[in-house]
Amino acid sequence: MSFDGLAVIVVGYGSSGLLADNLAPLTRRLDGARTFVVDNRTTDAERAAMRRLSAAEGWELLEPAENLGFGLGMNLAAERAIAAGATRLLLLNPDATMEPADVSALLAAAGDDPLVLLAPRVLRPDGSVWFDGSDLHLGDGRITATRNRERLGVRDAEQWLSGACLLVTAELWRRIGGFGDGYFLYWEDVELSFRARRAGGRVEVVDAATAVHAEGGTQGDGHAASGEAKSATYYYFNIRNRLVFAARNLDAASVKRWRRASIPIAYEVLLQGGRRQFLRSPAPLAAAFRGVRDGLRASRGTRSR
């Protein structure tokens, strides 16, 4: 089957089981697409499992010697895919599933536009909405669901798209430079959306396309519903990277506003995991403290560009 320019890109971390369940059924039915999988280093056994799976499914496996994180892993695969002739990149989480018809809906929405960044609606297995657009409040760095914009009276926000599933053209990817470094996990997709708009890109949620997110399969990317359990990693990087984003993308006055709001917003992030978690372990509070501390440090030492 000849390559039609669509590259499917996935970054895994101990994800061979998820990819066998979620990615393989999709790529077997995507005629003309090529698949590039990054195996962020975990164990020798997992690397061997990924090699077997990739060989069986016809995927190109990229094997970094260490864990690059989400964004840099995606950049590695995207660079390889574009060098192979890809004109459109479908970025997927290992715990996300799609039907070929939904991929077609994204491609149809993109059309011939060379500068697009699109996302489907992302549902949970029970059919409830996990993601259908999020708003970044430019005044202080809060994040709320776009569907609540009118109710909340939001005035200073712009929508960003979840990295759980994205379709981006190679031309826009090149203009932006891919995902920013310095994040490791979370907020790379916020920055990608932010910079896509400033590069002249069309950034939209395509309601006609859906993906399904299998909760708990990976660390996720910051969109889980209120009250769901969160990891210390989730808290730390979400809180820290908010200020990394500000320092990389906003003017000095905006960075100061975001810094002043760090503690109340960190508390809001913590509450996404519910109040009972504080009775079970000090880990969430410790992660939040470290996130605020390191975010403040990073926002002093990073210049906007």
Structural domain boundaries enclosing 256: 232-301
Domain boundary among 165, 181, 213: 213
Count of domains forming the chain: 2
Q: Do residues 293 and 199 share a domain?
A: no
Q: What is the CATH number of the domain that holds 52?
A: 3.90.550.10
SS3 state at 163? coil
* 8-49 confidence digits (pLDDT tens): 999 999 999 999 999 999 999 999 999 999 999 999 999 999
* 192-250 confidence digits (pLDDT tens): 999 999 999 999 999 999 999 986 555 444 444 445 668 899 999 999 999 999 999 99
Helix/strand/coil percentages in the chain, nearest 5: 45, 20, 35
Question: How far is 37 from 76, CA to CA, in rounded Å?
Answer: 10
Cβ–Cβ contacts within 10 Å for residue 213, how many? 25
Q: Do residues 278 and 151 share a domain?
A: no
Question: How far is 142 from 136, CA to CA, in rounded Å?
Answer: 6
Q: Do residues 102 and 148 share a domain?
A: yes
Question: How far is 137 from 135, CA to CA, in rounded Å?
Answer: 6
Residue 297 lies in a domain: yes
Closest CA to 82 of 10, 167, 173, 1: 173
Q: Tell me how far CA of residue 162 lies from CA of 64, 92, 132, 297, in angstroms.
A: 24, 10, 9, 26
- Model pTM score: 0.91
Q: Do residues 179 and 267 share a domain?
A: no
Residue 253 lies in a domain: yes
Residue 46 lies in a domain: yes
* 85-120 confidence digits (pLDDT tens): 999 999 999 999 999 999 999 999 999 999 999 999
